[in-house]
A = this chain, B = another copy of it.
């Protein structure tokens, strides 16, 4: 966690004097575009998560499970609204900000359609967990208000206990389930990384948030590699919580 997080915080201290950190960003178009990209990813991610949770809810084994999924789905839209409002303060329409991320998200979801209720739960927990960790890493490099918003919309962990319990119960009832879901978890992360690479290649502004520019510090290659280690480590812990091998 230490070095590059600290780097992010140093930068923050320097910008927090102005109002919400937007003013001075207009002087750095690429920087601003990076923040807009992060918000655009979040917005489209929330929207596709809504659709997926609503659809997975149809597979729910009980009405209580259905209510749980519907509640989670509607939280995504509440978050979507907040991200949209933040984008508006940057003068950017949420529809425009989301546009570059349609293809990677849609491809990810097309390649990772859950075959049943349990796969849907694991996808929501493991897939979103991995993605959210990454968004938090990127958020260390944007203005304080955007960073706070990102952390707030990602902080809702109410789903975790629910998924952990359901998946563990299913494994207890049938040990074979563990092997199948472990494979599924690996595939989810593989597909997520492959789409993340696509985004990184296409969105220079987003990438340079992480890597920095001449007059703004970012991560060097070693730091980026450490970030990936952190992501993988947290992913492994998350799988372990479910009783699955990463």
Q: Which residues of A contact B (CB under 8 A)?
A: 47, 50-51, 54-55, 57-58, 63-64, 66-67, 70-71, 73-78, 80-81, 94-95, 98, 102
Contacts and interface: CB of A to CB of B under 8 A. Distances in A.
A58 B58 CA distance: 14
Contacts of A77: 70-71, 73-74
A132 to B, nearest CB: 19
Contact of A67 (B47, B63, B67, B78): B47
Contacts of A54: 50-51, 54-55, 73
A80 B71 CA distance: 9
- State the majority secondary structure of interface residues on A: helix
Given A73-B74, A74-B73, A74-B74, A80 B67 contact: yes
Q: Which of A55, A70, A78 neighbours the largest number of chain B CB atoms within 10 Å of its CB? A: A70
B57 A95 contact: no
A64 B70 CA distance: 21
Contact of A98 (B50, B58, B63): B63
Contacts of A76: 74
Contacts of A47: 63, 66-67, 70
